[in-house]
C-alpha cells in the first residue's frame, strides 16, 4: 500500500499533504521570518479561546506531557497543594508528575466510565481549605469521557482556587471560551485537534496570575514564566525550537481557520464519530461508555468476548489494510480504542470499518 496509513489514534494524527509539505524548508531559529511564524501561531492560538487581552500563550518544546509538567511546576507554588480529579489514565499521569515536581498532591477518585462531579468537588473544597489548585483533564482519552469544564471552573472560581486544565485532546474541537470559563492554565499540543505534527505543547496562562509564577519552577528548560519573558523581549525561543513543527502548525492553523474553526472541526469529528459507532454496531462492537458522556474524540470499544481475539493479531490485520488502531487503556476489562480526529472524514471512517470487518474474518471472529 503506497499511501500513508490512517492513524485512528488520539495523536499523533493523520495530517494533510499541505501540512507535510510545510516541513520541507529549513528555518533559522533566530531568523526574523521564523520569529514572525512563531508570533503568528501564538496570536492564532489565543484567538481560538478568545483569550487575547486576558491570557498569554507560552509554547514549549516536547510532547504535551512536557507542557502539563511545566504548567504544574510554573503555576503551583512549592508549598502549594494540588487536587487532581481522577477518572482515567491521564489523570493518574497528572497526579504522578505533580508529585515528581515536589508539590503536595491529593487525588479525588471517580468512576472511569463517568465524568468527574463538580458537586463532589464543591463539597471537597469546602472541607479541605489547604487545596490551592485543581487539575482536570477536559477529555480523558483513557476511556473517552468528556469532563464538565464549565461546571468545574465555576466551582474553582467560587472557592478562589486555581484551575489547571489538560485540554490536550479537546482544544480546537470542543468549545473553550476564556471569556466565560475561568482557568489559570490550559494546556494543549500541536499534534492533536489542530492537526499539526507532534513536538510542541503550549500553555495558556491567565494574565492575572502570571507575575506570581516568577521563580516557582524548579526546572530551567520547562519554566514557562522565563520562556514567556524571553519570548516577549526577543521574539525568540529560549532554547532550540522545533522549527519544522512550528511551521507545520502554522500551516495547519491556516487550514483550521479556512475550514471554519472550532465549530466546523467539531462537526467533522462528530460525523466521524457517528459513522464509526453505527458501523461498528453492525459488526457487533459495543462502546464502553454511555453515549451521554462520550466525547467525539476517541471511542473505547469492548473487545470481542472470545478466546480467538488477541489485540496484537487484530491490530496487525487492520494495519495491513492501512489503518492504525489504539490499544485499550482500562485495567479491568479488555478494550481497544478508535480515534475520530485528524485529517480524516466519514468516508475514511467507512473504509476503516470495512478494514475491521475484513480483519475479523482474517482471525476467525
Q: What is the CATH number of the domain that holds 275?
A: 3.90.1150.10
What's the CA gap between 112 and 96, in Å, rounded?
17
Last residue of a domain, one of 234, 258, 282: 258
Last residue of a domain, one of 210, 238, 258: 258
Q: What share of the chain is helix, strand, coil (3-state, %, to 5)?
A: 40, 20, 40
Query: If you count DSSP H runs as helices and E runs as strands, how many of each does the chain have, helices first?
Result: 12, 14
**139-140 and 185-189 as β-strands: parallel, antiparallel, unpaired?**
unpaired
* Chain centroid offset of residue 41 CA: 18
Beta-bridge partner residues of 2: none
pLDDT digits (tens), the chain, 365 positions: 457 999 999 989 999 999 999 999 999 999 999 999 999 999 999 999 999 999 999 999 999 999 999 999 999 999 999 999 999 999 999 999 999 999 999 999 999 999 999 999 999 999 999 999 999 999 999 999 999 999 999 999 999 999 999 999 999 999 999 999 999 999 999 999 999 999 999 999 999 999 999 999 999 999 999 999 999 999 999 999 999 999 999 999 999 999 999 999 999 999 999 999 999 999 999 999 999 999 999 999 999 989 889 999 999 999 999 999 999 988 778 999 999 999 999 999 999 999 999 999 998 88
What's the CA gap between 214 and 74, in Å, rounded?
8
Q: Residue 200's CB: how many other CB atoms inside 10 A?
A: 25
Q: Residue 62's CB: how many other CB atoms inside 10 A?
A: 17
What's the CA gap between 292 and 281, in Å, rounded?
17
pLDDT on residue 330: 83
Residues 6 or more apart whose Cβ sits within 8 Å of residue 126: 159
Residues 250 and 291 in one domain: no
What's the CA gap between 228 and 249, in Å, rounded?
19
Residues 88 and 192 in one domain: yes
The three-class DSSP label of residue 157 is: helix
Residues 274 and 189 in one domain: no
Give the CB-side neighbour count of residue 353, counting CA atoms within 13 A.
Answer: 22
pLDDT on residue 329: 85
Residues 238 and 279 in one domain: no
What's the CA gap between 162 and 7, in Å, rounded?
35
Residues 195 and 320 in one domain: no
Residues 145 and 239 in one domain: yes
Residues 6 or more apart whose Cβ sits within 8 Å of residue 127: none
Quote the domain boundaries for residue 56: 18-258
pLDDT on residue 2: 53
pTM: predicted TM-score of the whole model, two decimal places: 0.97
What's the CA gap between 355 and 169, in Å, rounded?
25
* Residue from 142, 147, 195, 137 nearest 168 by CA: 137
* Residue from 59, 313, 82 nearest 190 by CA: 59
Is 78 within a domain?
yes
What's the CA gap between 189 and 200, in Å, rounded?
6
Residues 6 or more apart whose Cβ sits within 8 Å of residue 332: none
Is 74 within a domain?
yes
Is 113 within a domain?
yes
Residues 68 and 190 in one domain: yes
Last residue of a domain, one of 258, 279, 299: 258
Residues 290 and 157 in one domain: no
Whose cell is 479537546? That residue is: 170
Class of residue 54 by CB neighbours under 10 A (exposed 0-12, middle 13-18, buried 19+):
middle
Q: What is the DSSP string of 22-51?
A: GGGS---TT-HHHHHHHHHHHHHHHHHTT-
Is 150 within a domain?
yes
pLDDT on residue 279: 98
Residues 307 and 229 in one domain: no
Residues 173 and 225 in one domain: yes
Give the CB-side neighbour count of residue 339, counting CA atoms within 13 A.
Answer: 27
Helices 261-282/346-362 angle, 10° precision: 30
- Contact (CB, 8 A) for 13 and 195: yes
Is 1 within a domain?
no
Residues 119 and 105 in one domain: yes
Q: Please give the C-alpha separations between residue 250 and each of 4, 14, 49, 293, in angstroms, as whole numbers.
A: 22, 16, 17, 32
Is 240 within a domain?
yes
Q: Is 281 left (phi over 0), alpha (psi -120 to 50) or beta?
A: alpha
Q: Residue 87's CB: how many other CB atoms inside 10 A?
A: 25
**185-189 and 200-206 as β-strands: parallel, antiparallel, unpaired?**
antiparallel
Whose cell is 487550514? That residue is: 255
How many domains, in total, are found in the chain?
A: 2
Residues 250 and 297 in one domain: no
Kindly report the CATH number assigned to the domain that includes residue 67. 3.40.640.10
pLDDT on residue 143: 93
Amino acid at each position: 500500500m503506497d499511501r500513508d496509513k490512517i492513524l485512528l489514534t488520539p495523536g499523533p494524527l493523520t495530517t494533510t499533504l499541505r501540512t507535510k509539505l510545510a516541513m520541507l524548508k529549513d528555518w533559522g531559529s533566530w531568523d526574523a521570518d521564523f520569529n514572525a511564524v512563531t508570533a503568528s501561531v501564538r496570536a492564532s492560538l489565543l484567538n481560538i479561546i478568545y483569550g487575547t487581552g486576558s491570557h498569554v500563550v507560552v509554547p514549549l518544546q516536547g510532547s504535551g506531557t512536557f507542557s502539563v509538567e511545566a504548567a504544574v511546576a510554573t503555576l503551583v507554588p512549592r508549598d502549594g497543594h494540588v487536587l487532581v480529579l481522577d477518572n482515567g489514565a491521564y489523570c493518574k499521569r497528572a497526579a504522578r508528575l505533580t508529585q515528581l515536581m515536589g508539590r503536595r498532591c491529593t487525588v479525588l477518585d471517580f468512576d472511569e466510565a463517568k465524568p468527574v462531579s463538580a458537586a463532589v468537588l464543591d463539597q471537597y473544597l469546602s472541607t479541605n481549605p489547604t487545596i490551592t489548585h485543581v487539575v482536570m483533564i477536559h477529555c480523558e482519552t483513557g476511556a473517552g469521557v468528556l469532563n464538565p469544564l464549565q461546571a468545574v471552573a465555576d466551582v474553582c472560581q467560587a472557592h478562589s482556587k486555581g484551575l489547571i486544565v489538560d485540554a490536550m485532546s479537546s482544544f480546537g474541537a470542543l468549545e473553550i471560551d476564556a471569556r466565560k470559563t475561568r482557568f489559570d492554565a490550559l494546556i494543549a499540543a500541536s499534534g492533536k485537534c489542530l492537526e499539526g505534527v507532534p513536538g510542541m505543547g503550549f500553555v495558556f496562562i491567565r494574565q492575572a496570575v502570571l507575575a506570581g509564577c516568577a521563580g516557582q519552577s524548579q526546572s530551567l528548560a520547562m519554566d514557562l514564566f522565563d520562556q514567556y519573558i524571553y519570548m516577549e523581549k526577543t521574539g525568540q525561543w529560549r532554547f532550540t525550537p522545533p522549527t519544522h513543527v512550528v511551521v507545520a502548525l502554522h500551516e495547519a492553523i491556516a487550514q483550521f481557520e479556512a475550514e471554519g474553526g472550532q465549530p466546523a472541526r467539531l462537526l467533522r469529528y462528530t460525523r466521524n464519530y457517528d459513522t464509526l459507532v453505527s458501523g461498528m454496531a453492525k459488526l457487533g462492537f459495543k462502546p464502553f461508555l454511555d453515549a451521554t458522556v462520550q466525547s467525539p474524540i476517541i471511542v473505547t470499544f469492548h473487545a470481542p468476548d472470545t478466546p480467538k481475539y488477541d489485540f496484537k493479531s487484530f491490530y496487525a490485520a487492520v494495519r495491513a489494510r492501512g489503518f492504525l488502531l489504539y490499544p485499550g487503556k482500562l485495567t479491568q476489562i479488555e478494550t481497544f480504542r478508535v480515534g475520530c480526529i485528524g485529517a480524516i472524514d466519514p468516508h475514511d471512517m467507512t473504509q476503516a470499518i470495512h478494514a475491521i470487518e475484513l480483519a475479523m474474518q482474517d482471525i476467525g471472529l
